[in-house]
Amino acid sequence: MDLFKARLDVKLPQLRAERTTLLKEHGDTQISTIAIEQVLGGMRAVPALLCETSSVSADEGLRIRNIPILELTKQTPEDIFFLLCTGVLPNDAERAEISAAFASRANVPDSVWDVLKALPKDTHPMVMLSIGILVLEKESAFRKAYEAGASKDDSWKATLEDCVTLLGGVTTIAAAIYRIRFGKGDLIVPKSGLDWSANFAYMLGVSDDASWQDLVRLYLVLHSDHEGGNVSAMTSHVVSSALSDVFYSVSAGLNGLAGPLHGLANQECLRFIMDLRQEFGGVPTDEALREYCVKRLGSGQVIPGYGHAVLRVTDPRFTAFHQFAEQHNLNDDNVQFMKKLFAIVPEVLKEQGKAKNPWPNVDAASGSLLYYYGMTEFEFYTVMFGVSRAMGICSQILVHRMLGSSIVRPKSVTLAELGSMIK
Ligand code: CMX
């Protein structure tokens, strides 16, 4: 990873100088106030976290290093990881280096399989992923360097090593989880000559179709990062701020991704579509679907895949998947449901008047496409998301290590203290 490290080495002085200047010259400048509804409402919109890798705006959605995600849909995940970490897309030599580095870590220790195979057969795939990553922790270069008394200034180098070990291995682990958990037969070993996402698509053993490989590539690109305040990224950052290594930190973040209001929504989306198929025995009329959605909202359930804590427009990642379905002429019942829901749900949510954003997020489309290619086990979908999101989390942790960021320790208050603050 010499080329990769060299890029970061060049960036380092400017990055650290920027932080030092802000702290020294403007450390006590007020940038925001906080209202009680934010304290009680999940700290929504409080600008209290630093994230250099990507940003999400209400009216446009995700930008990675200031490039709109819809301009990055042809890249490889290796390109995206390099971009997240360094701020630029890799040249050919850098791309080859990172692909080779991931491939060199694709074979994980046998202890991972021993642990995964010992779990109860009906363990959720996200539990398996989180545990599989924790088993890799034994390999942590960062922890070893810390124990050997390495300087804090250089700790990012061991962190980068850990990121590559984690990302190189996570596709092998995730593919194995799919095959073990859903009885798909022998594990498929990584194949030389394939890049990271093509190998992942191959090891899953879902389809030989070339466009399946392309979907997995796109999937890993689109879910890679979503700035620093979402549950998984923020959780990982908090854990990592205690100088826990990336294996502890990513595993912790993925436990948050496993929640139905966050990454599990893609599983819930497909479950929702399967329930609809059963209810109607096929694709219903617009009016029947509309009534079903209204009834569901009336019973206090959410419509999975719709709404967002930040976005106020259609998620561009949904648009990218929608375009993929059009370009590849995917048109089974689930894809039709995905399109029909897009035409109906926003109006229903607007009429209900609760959701601040009635538009679809990425989860409204991703599952239908995976299902189309034969990945019908929707409990696995959040693992696909997790593999991709591990890139963003790793890159965010790496940048924090480069900056020497502080341990996270905000102040908590009681309801009574909030009451007395009003007075
Ligand atoms: N269906 C029904 N009600 C919804 C809704 C939806 N899709 N989206 C929001 N609402 C409701 C909220 O539950 C909330 O109701 P209460 O006031 O009764 O609590 C109200 O509308 C206001 O919520 P909001 O401010 O618009 O949204 P939040 O920031 O609180 O929550 C999110 C955001 C994503 C959790 C929410 O939109 C939701 O539950 N969506 C469905 C699940 C989903 O798709 N999650 C994936 C998000 C992407 C990701 O993070 O991975």
Question: How much is the pLDDT for 128?
Answer: 98
Mean pLDDT for each consecutive 10-residue tract of the chain (423 residues)?
96 97 97 96 96 97 98 98 98 96 96 95 97 96 95 94 98 97 95 95 96 98 98 98 98 97 89 92 92 95 93 97 96 93 96 95 94 96 97 98 97 97 90
Give the span between the Cα atoms of 238 and 405, in whole angstroms.
Answer: 11
Cα–Cα distance list, 55 to 13, 67, 256, 367, 369 (Å): 23, 10, 20, 24, 26
Choosing from 226, 234, 261 the residue with most ligand 1 atoms within 8 A of its CB, the one to mutate for a pocket test is 261
Positions marked active-site:
262, 308, 363
pLDDT of residue 339: 94
Residue type, 168: G
Q: Identify the pLDDT of residue 267.
A: 87
Q: Whose CA is nearest to atom 17 of ligand 1?
A: 354
- Report how far residue 23's alpha carbon sits from residue 129's, in angstroms, rounded to the nearest whole number: 38
Rg of the chain over Cα atoms, rounded to whole angstroms, equals 22
For atom 19 of ligand 1, the residue with the nearest CA is: 354
Q: What is the CATH number of domain 265-372?
A: 1.10.230.10
CA 220–ligand 1 middle distance (angstroms): 24
Q: How far is the CA of 38 from the centre of ligand 1 (A)?
A: 16
Burial class (CB in 10 A: 0-12, 13-18, 19+), 31: exposed
Q: Which residue pairs, CB below 8 angstroms and at least 24 apart, start in 272-280?
A: 272/303, 272/304, 272/305, 273/334, 273/337, 273/338, 273/341, 273/367, 273/368, 274/378, 276/337, 277/333, 277/334, 277/337
Q: What is the pLDDT of residue 209?
A: 93
Ligand 1: which of 308, 342, 363 to mutate, judged by most atoms within 8 Å of the beta carbon? 308
Best of 40, 354, 359 to mutate for ligand 1, by most ligand atoms within 8 A of CB?
A: 354
Using the mean position of ligand 1's atoms as its centre, give its distance from the Cα of residue 178 in Å.
Answer: 29
Q: Whose CA is nearest to atom 27 of ligand 1?
A: 309
- Cα angle for residues 14, 23, 310 (degrees, 5° grid): 85
The rounded Å distance from CA 309 to ligand 1 centre is: 7
Give residues with Cβ within 8 angstroms of 26, minimum separation 6: none
Q: Answer whether 207's CB lies under 8 Å from 222's CB.
A: no
Residues with CB under 6 A from ligand 1: 230, 261-263, 265, 297, 302-309, 354-357, 361, 363
pTM: 0.94
Query: 63 — phi, psi (to 5°)?
Result: -125, 130
C-alpha 124 to ligand 1 mean position (Å): 24
Three-state secondary-structure class, residue 64: strand
Instruction: Determine the pLDDT at residue 77.
Output: 98
Strands (E), 234-314: none
